[in-house]
Amino acid sequence: NAGVTQTPKFQVLKTGQSMTLQCAQDMNHNSMYWYRQDPGMGLRLIYYSASEGTTDKGEVPNGYNVSRLNKREFSLRLESAAPSQTSVYFCASNQGSGGGSGNQPQHFGDGTRLSIL
Amino acid sequence: AQSVTQLGSHVSVSEGALVLLRCNYSSSVPPYLFWYVQYPNQGLQLLLKYTTGATLVKGINGFEAEFKKSETSFHLTKPSAHMSDAAEYFCAVSDLMRGNKLVFGAGTILRVKS
């Protein structure tokens, strides 16, 4: 039972390079989320998708774009990577609707550890 | 906007001792509350959640938390710490003013000494 799968697990980029982080879930969830985790700051929401074909900004969207390719997949793109984007990125999903968690817990992938030099 | 405060970025206990991790939230409306645990190099796993009903919530691995509306708190406890409990713990709240999206505390790293 895979749950939420993220690829790659690790990546090192140079400033200005671009890359896409991939996320797929096999739980038939409506909502998907991208977070970044930085020491002492918990998790901060970058973007979310309440349903297939819809996306919306979270708390820290600058420098990122997302695509909800289908119900299973939600990708995060860094167009021009900056050292400030060095972080651990987590994808999550849940059965909540309207972009909200409500009382439905989110299920997390194992993260992508991204370093930008 | 909703906020979550976890008192103590690091907590250290001896094996067999009581574990108490503190969480306070800011809300005038009773929210949905969650505790997650993160082991090294892994994602977050749900420990327990409070939605409605009984204010004492039991979770996995012997953890429990009590929702206290008057204190806007949702502290996590375990009667007897085990070495395997060493991890980072996050309190989170559904922000009713932001479409029920989760707001996380900064996290508390629990160290268990033998």
Span B26-80, pLDDT tens digits: 876 667 899 999 998 899 999 999 988 888 999 999 999 999 989 999 999 999 9
Contacts of A106 in chain B (CB under 8 A): 44, 46, 102
pLDDT more than 90, % of chain B: 73
A30-36: average pLDDT: 94
Measure CA B90 to chain center.
5
- Chain B: nearest CA to A97, how far in angstroms? 9
Question: Quick one: pLDDT at residue A50?
Answer: 87
Contacts of B44 in chain A (CB under 8 A): 43, 90, 92, 106, 108
With cut-offs at 50, 70 and 90, classify the pLDDT of residue A104: confident
- Chain B: nearest CA to A5, how far in angstroms? 10
Q: How far is CA A95 from CA A30, A99, B106, in A?
A: 5, 10, 25
Q: Cα separation of A19 and A112, whole Å?
A: 12
The pairing of beta strand A112-116 with beta strand A87-94: antiparallel
Joined together, the tokens standing for residue B30 give 């009773």
Q: Answer yes or no: is pLDDT of A101 > 80.
A: no
Contacts of B57 in chain A (CB under 8 A): none
B43 touches chain A (CB under 8 A): yes
- Chain B: nearest CA to A56, how far in angstroms? 11
